[in-house]
Amino acid sequence: MGITDLLLLGQERDLKSERGVSCDGALPAASDPDLVARAVAAKASLGSRAMILGHHYQRDEVINFADIRGDSFKLAQAAADNSSAEFIFFCGVHFMAESADILTTANQKVILPDLAAGCSMADMATATQVDTAWQVLTKLGVAGKTIPITYMNSSAAIKAFTGKNNGAVCTSSNAARAMRWAFEKGEKVLFLPDQHLGRNTAVLSLGLKLEDCILWNPWKPNGGLTDEQIKKAKVILWRGHCSVHGRFTVENIKDVKIRLPGVQVLVHPECQHDVVSNADVVGSTEVIIKTVKDSPAGTKWAVGTELNLVQRLANENPDKEVVFLDKTVCYCSTMNRIDLPHLVWAMESLVGGKLVNQIKVEAEVARYAKVALERMLALP
């Protein structure tokens, strides 16, 4: 079985697990008045054997029980650094739990409390589609000078493809470093799966022109592009996006500046190019948190990122005015699937001797994915 077959197998297994039954019917009711007490008791019973990781976009009811909160890569690293923790409860989404499994030891087990917690962006690039695109680049004679860079928000199978083909993983914080590194190694970059982060990085950080970037549509023959467009392009962007960050518009910026005089607009680089270009500050989740926290009292911020985080920023910074950039409420629907009942169910099951919802990446896929992750860590 070749690496492509293994990648496809890994992708198929991922999809099957995400569609599978997340619990066995013993899920506690959200209205259970003893739910918090049960969570406290289960966590205490597991003790140092277990570690709970909470992504910044999680509900407060879950974050309250997290040993560490952070972005996806910070949490995966935290799991890897705590080798004494036998069980890792990853309160995030599927690709994050995969990354934790890849980076932790064979003795550690990663648990996703709800298997339905996926990521729409990660699902926009499947191993089959990326393999098809690479075949086109190979046929045109440009694959050998194209370096793939994949965002952390991608499946283990896509990370493995990247590692296999001399590429690296990136985060929103180091995307510019990763892309510069790629151009030192090749002439083109295939950026997966978030078109907006790729475009913003290429144009605003590296100084490329918008016309240097083309958009590969996996649902169209040849990506919807001519051979000449592919040969000429410097950056091939995958047609993927974040369903939350992609909703913000320039009209939102104009509106909030009228409604709230003196407000500064702070957005994530997964937002559309015109939004990022018109924002006052652009940064990763960690940068967004630090920017608001370190700003002077009385500062006004309109934040373009996931609503759970924006509400938490407002609550934790009462001396500032923090509002959601879009007047329409929008949670990340898949990230929001992890709730306290699922966390309690997963912990209590383990206390009772039953391991549930373990995320396990195929060994060969994990090997190449780890290569891509290690290349990122080695970036200058």
Higher-pLDDT residue of 330 and 65 is 65
The single-letter code of the amino acid at 94 is H
Q: Do domains 3-117+335-364 and 245-324 have the same CATH topology?
A: yes
DSSP string for residues in 18-47: HHS-SS-S-PPPTT-TTHHHHHHHHHHHHG
Q: CB neighbours (10 Å) of residue 159?
A: 33
The single-letter code of the amino acid at 128 is T
User: Residue 14: is it exposed, middle or buried by C-beta count within 10 angstroms (0-12/13-18/19+)?
Assistant: buried
Q: What is the DSSP letter of 52?
A: E
pLDDT score of 22: 54
Q: How far apart are CA 127 and CA 157, in angstroms?
A: 6
pLDDT score of 75: 87
pLDDT at residue 333 tops 90 = no
Reduce the DSSP state of residue 71 to 3 states and report it.
coil
User: Would you say 92 and 115 are in contact if contact means Cβ atoms under 8 Å apart?
Assistant: no
Mean per-residue pLDDT for 316-334? Answer: 85
Q: What is the pLDDT of residues 133-177, one digit of tens each?
A: 999 999 999 999 999 999 999 999 999 999 999 999 999 989 999
Confidence of residue 7 (pLDDT cuts 50, 70, 90): very low
Q: How far apart are CA 103 and CA 302, in angstroms?
A: 35
pLDDT score of 8: 43
pLDDT at residue 19 tops 80 = no
User: Would you say 135 and 146 are in contact if contact means Cβ atoms under 8 Å apart?
Assistant: no
Q: How far apart are CA 355 and CA 110, in angstroms?
A: 10
Domain 122-238 falls under CATH 3.40.50.10800: yes
Mean pLDDT across the chain, nearest whole number? 91
Q: What is the pLDDT of residues 165-209, one digit of tens each?
A: 999 999 998 999 999 999 999 999 999 999 999 999 999 999 999
Confidence of residue 328 (pLDDT cuts 50, 70, 90): confident
Nearest alpha carbon to residue 192 among 227, 223, 220: 223
pLDDT score of 57: 83
By residue count, the chain amounts to: 380
Reduce the DSSP state of residue 328 to 3 states and report it.
coil
Mean per-residue pLDDT for 322-339? Answer: 80
* Dihedral class, residue 357 (left if φ above 0, else alpha if ψ from -120 to 50, else beta): left
pLDDT at residue 227 tops 90 = yes
Domain-by-domain residue ranges, the chain?
Answer: 3-117+335-364, 122-238, 245-324
Q: What is the pLDDT of residues 276-303, one digit of tens each?
A: 999 999 999 999 999 999 999 999 999 9
Mean per-residue pLDDT for 237-259? Answer: 94
Question: What is the fold, at CATH topology level, of the domain defined by 3-117+335-364?
Answer: Rossmann fold (3.40.50)
- As its CATH architecture, domain 245-324 has 3-Layer(aba) Sandwich (3.40)
Beta strands in 142-250 (DSSP E): 146-151, 168-170, 188-192, 213-216, 235-238
Q: What is the pLDDT of residues 87-129, one digit of tens each?
A: 999 999 899 899 999 999 999 999 999 999 988 899 999 999 9
Q: What is the pLDDT of residues 40-88, one digit of tens each?
A: 999 999 999 999 999 888 889 999 999 999 887 888 889 889 999 999 9
Confidence of residue 10 (pLDDT cuts 50, 70, 90): very low
pLDDT score of 330: 67
